[in-house]
Amino acid sequence: MRDTRSLPAKLALYAAVLAGAVIMLFPFLWTVITSITPEGSLADGPKLVVDDPTLNAYRTLLDAIPMWRIMLNSLGIAIASTLLQLVTGAMAAYGFARLHFPLKNVVFGFYLATLMVPLQVLVVPLFIEMKTLNLQDTYFALLAPTIASAFGVFLLRQAVTAVPLELDEAATIDGAGHLRIFTTIVLPLIRPALATVAVFAFMGSWNSFLWPLVVIRSPEFMTLPLGLSTLQGQFTTQWDVVMAGSVVSIVPIAIVYLLAQRHIIAGVAHTGIK
């Protein structure tokens, strides 16, 4: 399925792919443009060139909601939940792939069962659990459901299984225990899978909406999606402010994605999702 294509066919392909890319990027471009357009001229309709760009919307945004706090909340929770999922996931993956214990399949079955239950089923009782423990409106409540992810365990177990057992045996003969084998042999070899889990974990936390919506009330514990959604009602839709908030929330996740990009396709291909 490569080369030996006629020039017109190739040009047509380029044209189609680029047109598609424009459709993908345009809303984002538009978001940026709107965020720097002076408030009054928005009603006049779409313009690609802004006559007198302004950062007013960003200033209004900072006044309207505790934006820095909300950014830091999102970032902190996303990083914490990513690290926790990597640690708990990799350890469990090693446990399931390398240790032998009775009822292992049953225990693994429980992990898989939790994978199949959608968040929606859990939202009500989880909310009640937090309310009972008086943990509403706390960072811990935001973090709790994402400390361990069965999806991560599942993906990483596949990766650990793919690591040749001979490596473990050689290390055992050299006197290494489980901890040494885990940290010095297994972890480095499953890096692509770890990167994939990290991206999914970060994305999941950064973008999650339903759970923060349920468990968070006060602005100082809000995360970005929640903070942005509250902007909607607060200003009978001051779109330039909403779009400024959108820009602020897209930049970090775009950076994370660009950093991890090359691992993703490889990660997807190698971890058995395909």
Q: Which is nearer to other proteins, 96 or 221 (CB)?
A: 96
Q: Which is nearer to other proteins, 122 or 162 (CB)?
A: 122
* Minimal distance, residue 83 CB to other proteins, in Å: 12
Tell me if 16 sits within 8 A of 37, measured CB to CB: no
Rounded CA separation 131/37 (Å): 43
* Minimal distance, residue 66 CB to other proteins, in Å: 17
* Minimal distance, residue 123 CB to other proteins, in Å: 7
Q: Which is nearer to other proteins, 52 or 274 (CB)?
A: 274
Q: Which is nearer to other proteins, 51 or 175 (CB)?
A: 175
* Minimal distance, residue 119 CB to other proteins, in Å: 8
Conformational region of residue 137, where left means phi above 0, alpha means psi within -120 to 50, and beta covers everything else: left
Give the count of beta carbons closer than 10 Å to the beta carbon of residue 10.
11
CB-based burial, 241-274: b 16+ in 10 Å, e otherwise? bbbbbbbbbeebbeebeeebeebeeebeebbeee
